[in-house]
Amino acid sequence: MSANLINLLIASTGQTLYMVAVAAVLGTVLGLPLGVFLATSQRGELLSAPWVNKILGLVVNATRSVPFIILVVAIIPFTRFIAGTSIGTSAAIVPLTIAAVPFIARLVENAIREVDAGLIEAARSMGATPLQIIRKVLVPEALPGITLGLTLAVVSLIGYSAMVGAVGGEGLGDLGIRYGYQRFMPMVMLAVVVILVVLVQIVQSLGEGIARRVDKRAPKGRGD
């Protein structure tokens, strides 16, 4: 493999990391509070707003049900409005973020719903407000599950970022299509696949490690 292709691999890896990182941060900023609200706003819950919950739930489900590659094409006008263009790394962040928000929201909702209801009742009996219960009970207790959920979301974004290359995005997916497929260079395709696998393994290992550290229920070693 030539030095030029190696430089392209390095540049494309940087573009992929940039797309995934920005989309993951934006998706978390928007998806985390949305997930918390969905988990606490059904009838009789802390932030009881059943109609709002139902409407948001429908929107989340509708967005999640659209295949990502179709979503990318369908929102091209919106992407162009936000990013000023529909191609390139910055433009790819728009559909990646839109795909990440409902995904993260559902993962956060599921993690929070797994928290023991007895903890909520205990906090209520001590006079805690709904926001205090969410901030000091629900989120800390659900943090290991939320961490694993965010890890899964980032892994999914890595896969989505490769798909964006098929419709004008940059990064490893674009490199694999232009060189590995269109120019019949299997070594480039193999290198792209290997890098993507390595990135997924790194993210998965880091996420699992962080989840173990924040899990208060995890058994401690003898030396702890």
Domains of the chain: 3-214 (1.10.3720.10)
**Are 46 and 134 a contacting pair, CB within 8 Å?**
yes
User: Does the pLDDT of residue 34 top 70, yes or no?
Assistant: yes
Model pLDDT, residue 120: 87
Per-residue pLDDT tens digits for 104-142: 999 999 999 998 888 888 988 888 888 999 999 999 999
User: Of 99-103, 170-174, 185-189, which has the strongest mean pLDDT?
Assistant: 99-103
The residue type found at 150 is L
Q: Which residue has the tokens 């969905």?
A: 38
Considering the entire predicted model, what is its pTM?
0.89
Model pLDDT, residue 220: 52
How sure is the predictor about 181, in pLDDT bands with cuts at 50, 70 and 90? Answer: confident
Model pLDDT, residue 183: 76
User: Does the pLDDT of residue 218 top 70, yes or no?
Assistant: no
**Are 62 and 135 a contacting pair, CB within 8 Å?**
no
User: Does the pLDDT of residue 221 top 80, yes or no?
Assistant: no
Give the span between the Cα atoms of 151 and 204, in whole angstroms: 6
How sure is the predictor about 171, in pLDDT bands with cuts at 50, 70 and 90? Answer: confident
Give the span between the Cα atoms of 134 and 125, in whole angstroms: 15
Query: Across all residues in the chain, what is the average pLDDT?
Result: 89
Q: Which residue has the tokens 């973020």?
A: 97
User: In this structure, which long-range contacts are made by residues 9-14, counting pairs with CB atoms below 8 Å and at least 24 apart in sequence?
Assistant: 9/172, 9/175, 9/188, 9/191, 9/192, 9/195, 12/170, 12/171, 12/172, 12/174, 12/175, 12/192, 13/171, 13/172, 13/195, 13/199
Q: pLDDT exceeding 70 applies to what percent of the chain?
A: 96
User: Of 2-11, 47-56, 184-193, which has the strongest mean pLDDT?
Assistant: 47-56
3-state SS class at 58: helix
User: Does the pLDDT of residue 217 top 70, yes or no?
Assistant: no
CB-based contacts of 166, cutoff 8 Å, min separation 6: 69, 173, 177
The rounded radius of gyration (Å) of the Cα atoms in the chain is 20
User: Does the pLDDT of residue 26 top 90, yes or no?
Assistant: yes
How sure is the predictor about 45, in pLDDT bands with cuts at 50, 70 and 90? Answer: confident
